[in-house]
Structure 1
Amino acid sequence: MAFGIKREDIDMWKAQIDRGDIAFLTHYWLDERFPACKTVTKVGCKDIEKLKRWGKQYGLRPEWIDYRKDGYSHFDLLGEKQEEILKKEGLTHHIWK
């Protein structure tokens, strides 16, 4: 279940994806499959090959992409990997959000 996110944040994320950028969206999230994780960062791009190359540099596998028919395919980053990638991307404000 997602919460703590504004419509304008989602719209901005989608606009970045639509431009072909690598886009980041972090929000609170609860899922009983991952009880230790309280947030998720969705990293998307409409250019799937670009998204795969981006993920490869962080050890993310293409089969981990949530392929979406609506054009907003993305990786879901959780836990330590989420924090590691956000720091390397210079997006620490997503961690403290």
Structure 2
Amino acid sequence: MAFGINRKELIEWKTKAGNGEISFLTHYWLDDRFPDCNTVTKAACTDRKKLVQWGRSYGLRPEWIHDRDDLPHFDLLGEKQREILKKENKYYQLQKLEKRKKG
């Protein structure tokens, strides 16, 4: 179950990914399979070759790509999520959710 994002953020993420950019969307997320994770970042790009190459640079394997709704993406969780967001200068996405949780 996803929550903590709005329609504008979702459209912007899809548009950037659709234009061949590696696009990031971080939101709250609950899944019993991952009880220690309450956020996920979806790193998407419609250029699958570019997404595979990008993922490899972070140790992500191509078979981990989800192909839902014609928008290939990796789900980033936990420490890997934090590491990648920091390196990509997108850590504000996670900080925004952490601030909401505290406030």
- Taking structure 1 as the reference length, the TM-score comes to 0.96
Alignment correspondent of 2:30: 30
Query: Residue 27 of structure 1 aligns to which amino acid in structure 2?
Result: H
State the aligned residue count: 96
Alignment correspondent of 2:2: 2
Q: Percent identity at matched positions?
A: 60
In the TM superposition, residue 88 of structure 1 has moved relative to its aligned partner by 0.6
2: CA distance, partners of 1:67 / 1:2:
17
Alignment correspondent of 1:78: 77
Alignment correspondent of 2:50: 50
In the TM superposition, residue 85 of structure 1 has moved relative to its aligned partner by 0.4
**Richer in helix (by share):** 2
Query: Residue 83 of structure 1 aligns to which amino acid in structure 2?
Result: R
1: CA distance, partners of 2:17 / 2:85:
18
Aligned-residue RMSD, C-alpha? 0.7
Q: Which consecutive unaligned segments of at least 5 residues does structure 2 have?
A: 97-103
- Taking structure 2 as the reference length, the TM-score comes to 0.90
In the TM superposition, residue 86 of structure 1 has moved relative to its aligned partner by 0.4
Deviation track 1:30-54 (CA, whole Å, cap 9, x = no partner) reads: 0000000000000000000000000
Report 1:7-26 matches (<5 A). Answer: 7-26=7-26
Alignment correspondent of 1:91: 90
Alignment correspondent of 2:101: none
4+ runs of 1 displaced by more than 3 Å? none
In the TM superposition, residue 17 of structure 1 has moved relative to its aligned partner by 1.0
